[in-house]
Structure 1
Amino acid sequence: MVGQNASEQAVQRLAARLARLDEDGLDPRFYGVPAPELATADPARYRAETMRAAELALSDLLLGRVAALRGRVDLRRDAASVNYPAWVAELGSASDPVQVIDRAADLPPDARALKAELARYRAAAAAGGWPRITADTRRTLEPGSTDAERVPQLRARLAATDAAVTDLASPVYDTALVEAAKRFQADQGLEADGRVGSITWTALNIPIEAKVNQLRVALDMRRAQGPRPTERRIEVNIPFYRLHLLEGDRVLLDMAVIVGRRDRQTPMLNVRMTTVQFNPQWGVPERNAREDLLPRFQRNPAAMQAGGFRLYQRIEGETVEVDPSTVDFSAYNRNNFPYYIRQDAGDRNALGRIKFVMPNGDDIYMHDTPDRHLFTRGARAFSSGCIRLERPMELLSATLSGTSWDRTQVDRVLASRATRSAPLARSIPVRLHYSTVIVDGGRVTMRPDIYGLDAEYARALDRATGQRVASAEGGATRGTGSR
């Protein structure tokens, strides 16, 4: 009999703890916690139902409620690292099962910091959250300007999270309010210039409920993660726009990256980098050719030629280059464009001078870029899916370690403008992942859910079906897919 060593009072404390599973980002309604009245009406049934609910909760607290999601190969679950059967046995024999549940809830990395932040946001939501800005947010609000509609709404919104904001009725975007806006922008990872444009307006209008869900997701993602890899590896956190070259827990390289925009999202990947290519040509993907480059050819085909872009067409089974000056580009649109486009290697090439190859079915790679100015932006979802690197030469030095390539040879090949490849001495694991919440030194930092993947994960968290525990005696059974 489960819970046989727990007193009636201990079982009641356990039921009360399970009723507070929202503290752990879980919905208590999914676990069948019995009503307190049942403890008096039918003590045996109350004990059995409480322990059954505890088993279900223990499974989700230790193994994660969401087993997997389509396309989320970045989610890491290592059930073996948890030793779930031992936890179930301890829960069944404990004189105070609450302690088992509490330890399980605090087991994931950063759990306590995340739960404290979750409690803070939940309290703010219960108090009414923050006001929504309903004024016209299409125009940028400049420091020093006066706006009788937008500035008071901005004041009210910032005052909800910044105690320094006062004088809520003033229509002047004065120095004190500009500084508050800068603090908000910095906290969101945006350019802290005090200019409130569309990106900042959007961040201001993120509902507090979305922030709560991001924290719930962050907690669940950390469950059953297992030990971190010890080998040298590359990790790219998409919503933070950062690349880290790691060895164990040691950060060898940290740089900004540009990732895919929302309509051309960078996919989550677990792959291996195998090759570096110098002076790459760009074989333009069909979608980029139709949607991005065709309008530019229509505006100025001569400029496109000067930029190294070439047109090709399949004629009788052969690929033939076509002179752009002979093409009437106005006759084509994104649904009707029979040409292929390639860009020659060079300073103006969209891939820059270096391409890092990591074979995958999505044709995603990392590369240099001539658009260096974009790295000064806070939100950097500008690409068509590939990863643009802030400091490609530093990554190059790290990846070519152990090969015969030195900087002199690299410079010589780059100067030649000839396309050439160099295999790595040892392939490097690359993980493209999506984590909108990080904890560093106990401080929780959040970034916007740019692809809506946290919202999708939260919906999976809140599905009531598919519990994965059979019984205390039988142990855990893992489902397939999310619940």
Structure 2
Amino acid sequence: MRALIALPFLAVSAVLVLPPAPALAQGSAVMASETGAASAAAIARLAERLARLEEDGLDPRWYGVPAAGADPARYRTEALRAAQLVLSDLLLGRVSSLRGRVDLRRDPSSVNLGAWMAELATASEPAQVIERAANLPEGAAAIKAELARYRAVAAAGGWPRITGDLRRTLEPGTTDARVPQLRARLAAHDPALVAGAEANNPLYDDRLLAAVRLFQQSEGLEPDGRVGPITWEVLNTPVESKIAQLRVALDMRRAQPAASTERRIEVNVPHFRLHLLEGSRVVQEMAVIVGRRDRQTPMLNVRMTSVTFNPSWGAPERNAREDLLPRFRRDPAGMQAAGYRLFQRVDGEVVQVDATQVDFSAYNRNHFPYFVRQDAGDRNALGRMRFNMPNSEDIFMHDTPDRHLFSRGQRAFSSGCIRLERPMELLSEVLSGTAGWDRARADRVLASRATAGASLTRTIPVRLHYTTTIVDGGRVIMRPDIYGLDAQYAQAMERGAPQRLASVEGGAVRGTGAR
């Protein structure tokens, strides 16, 4: 009989058909009962390894790992049973899906769970099977080393929280009561950063400035040495949050599908980076601006289908009420000069209204009966081009006139769409293969200032994903959990249950798939 495991992956239920596993016959090996190959000493080593699951981002309490001193037969059965559940989570990941997280990917077919279970049941050293499974994901060793480092910081009491007016920016060269706290916080993160400094010195001196810049650079912030609200917030992020991010990073890497060979675009939202890829080769990389916290960029799997040149912009209702109304109130003539047009529905028809004749003080974010459009042009919010990828969230990629924002380390400034650092370079790539279009023609259309479009002959998959922790050349790079999605994932890990091997019958393993 073939081994079947029903698992819900992402938004659907998938059935994984595993190859025959003769060692599972009669079910005795799957249950890993007293007839298993491991000696009593090996079972003790297995239990000891399971007790160290925190180094793998898991919690031994989730699996019923037995304590030493129990009845030997029961101890063996419970240890092997716990090992089965642990092995399932190490191979398949503990969290199979989350609401709104279409970027999460699992490929159960990449893991021959039946073969792993058979090996666990018959191994003379089952702890070694668990160890191999724990280190299977790409980059696991580096992430686990970083996790151990942060756990050591937590065990030592974590790092001190900085208090005071954290809305006020601390400037280099000033004397401030927050400086000793800042120095203590950096010392807890890395003592070498402030080695030899006078702990209680309130002067923000050059030594501390260098340490702050290194910290800002490591966190993906603008390394200018100015400690403002964003840097204060990152400094006050508890070490437990860092630990949670690393646990999530490990779990997200389990049962990953093979990299697509198709030409594709991937945007890592918390890293503010876009990659155009062919297989594993990076064709292009650039900075992007993503949605701010109150207007988050959604995770999407879509396809880029067309490009619009010299687009006009119909401001969404929320943007009009919350962003543009205050600007109209301050300078209606200036808004019209920037190409913003005001419209109102009158007797069923939409008519343009002279903004200089409107009393904007009579309106607020809850009452603003106008539509706003911005003409195409250099000052248009979408810049000179828009890359269209149809989706229900009305999210697209586009140029922007606000080029200065790309120099920032933290770039969550948009209303949800993706602003591109080098749109012309991306344009050249996406137009490749589209008959009648090349860079020269695109330049002519842009110079004409007329709105025009080009449908792509070869549409391009686009994935917007949320991955705060990456491994680059063996180095772990973490970015702040700007939308709190890692925190949600960590909570789901706590709530989840391992794949339950609910029944054993003639070598068939059936999982409930309940999460």
1:140 aligns with 2:169: yes
Distance in structure 2 (CA, Å) of the matches to 1:48 and 1:474: 19
The one-letter amino acid of 1:317's match is G
Please say if 1:106 is aligned against 2:135.
yes
1:130 corresponds, among 159, 183, 196, to 159
Per the alignment, residue 245 of structure 1 pairs with 276
1:31 to 49, 63, 68: 63
Cα deviation 1:245-289 (Å, max 9, x = unaligned) = 011111110100000000000000000000011001111101001
CA separation of 1:245 and 1:137: change in aligned 2, threshold 3 A: same
Of 405-414 and 359-368, more deviation after overlay is shown by: 405-414
Given the two structures, how large is their TM-score scaled by the length of structure 2? 0.91
In 1, distance between residues paired with 2:305 and 2:501?
41
15, 36, 45: which one pairs with 2:74?
A: 45
- Among 75, 82, 86, which residue is 1:57 paired with? 86
2:290–2:416 CA contact under 8 A, matched in 1: yes
Q: Secondary structure at the match of 2:189?
A: coil
Kindly indicate whether the alpha-carbon contact (under 8 Å) linking 1:59 and 1:476 is maintained by their aligned counterparts in 2: no
Q: Give the whole-Å Cα distance in 2 for the aligned partners of 1:439 and 1:7.
A: 38
Are 1:85 and 1:476, in contact at CA under 8 Å, matched by a contact in 2?
no
1:267 aligned residue: 298
- In the other structure, the counterpart of 1:448 is 480
Q: What is the alpha-carbon distance in structure 2 between the residues aligned to residue 464 and residue 356 of structure 1?
A: 39
Q: CA deviation at 1:474?
A: 4.0
Whether 1:67 and 2:96 are equivalent positions in the alignment is yes
State the distance in 1 between where 2:301 and 2:375 align. 30
Q: Structure 1 residues 344-353 or 44-53, which shifts more?
A: 44-53
* Aligned partner letter, 1:287: R
Q: Which residue does the alignment assign to 2:18?
A: none
In structure 1, the residue corresponding to 2:165 is in which secondary structure?
A: coil
Task: Render the CA deviation track for 1:142-169: whole Å, top value 9, x for unaligned.
Answer: 111111x111001101111231412111
SS for the counterpart of 1:179 is helix
User: Residue 252 of structure 1: SS of its match in structure 2?
Assistant: strand
1:282 to 1:464, Cα distance in 2 relative to 1, 3 A? closer
Distance 1:476 1:181 in 2: 54
- Residue 105 of structure 1: how far off its partner (Å): 0.6
Aligned AA (2:43): V
Contact 2:94 2:496 in 1 (8 A): no
Deviations 1:331-383 (A, max 9, x none): 11111111111111000000000100000000000000000000010000000
Matches within 5 A, 1:287-366: 287-366=318-397
Shift of 1:35: 1.4
Instruction: Identify the residue that residue 188 of structure 2 maps to in structure 1.
Output: 160
Q: Distance in 1 between matches of 2:510 and 2:158?
A: 38
1:470 corresponds to which residue? Answer: 502
For the residue of structure 1 that corresponds to 2:79, the secondary structure is: helix
Which residue in the other structure is 2:206 paired with? 175
Q: Which moved more, 1:71-80 or 1:315-324?
A: 315-324
Q: Deviations over 1:214-243 (max 9, x none)?
A: 000000000001211111100000010000
Write out the 4+ residue segments of structure 1 that deviate beyond 6 Å after TM superposition. Answer: none
Q: Supply the distance in 1 between the matched residues of 2:186 and 2:229 (Cα, whole angstroms).
A: 16
What residue number does 2:23 align with? none
Name the TM-score, length of structure 1 as normaliser: 0.96
Match of 1:191 among 219, 222, 247: 222
1:46-88 deviations in whole A, cap 9, x for unaligned? Answer: 2111111111101110000001100000001001111111111
Q: How far does residue 478 in structure 1 lie from its aligned partner after superposition?
A: 6.0
Aligned counterpart in structure 1 of residue 262 of structure 2, from 227, 231, 236: 231
Partner residue of 1:9? 41
Out of 436, 459, 465, which is 2:468 matched to?
A: 436
Instruction: Give 2:82's aligned amino acid.
Output: A
**Is residue 86–residue 498 contact of structure 2 (8 Å, CA) maintained in 1?**
no
Per the alignment, in what secondary structure is the counterpart of residue 173 of structure 2? Answer: coil
**Paired AA for residue 340 in structure 1:** F
Q: Give the conservation status (yes or no) of the 8 Å contact 2:139–2:471.
A: yes
Could you tell me which amino acid in structure 1 is paired with residue 187 of structure 2? A
CA distance in 2, matches of 1:397, 1:476: 51
Deviations 1:185-206 (A, max 9, x none): 0001111111111111111111
After superposition, what is the alpha-carbon deviation per residue over 1:1-30, rounded to whole angstroms, capped at 9, x for unaligned?
333111111111111111111110001001
Give the whole-Å Cα distance in 2 for the aligned partners of 1:83 and 1:341: 56
Structure 2 residues without counterparts, runs of 5 or longer: 1-27
Counterpart-to-counterpart distance in 1, 2:513 and 2:306: 38
For 2:7, the equivalent position in structure 1 comes to none
- Shift in Å, 1:476: 5.5
Determine whether 1:459 maps to 2:487: no
- For residues 94 and 265 of structure 1, the distance between their equivalents in structure 2, rounded to whole angstroms, comes to 48
Runs of 5+ in structure 1 lacking a partner? none
2:419 paired with 1:388: yes
Out of 398, 414, 429, the position equivalent to 1:367 is: 398
> How far apart are the structure 1 equivalents of 2:324 and 2:359?
14
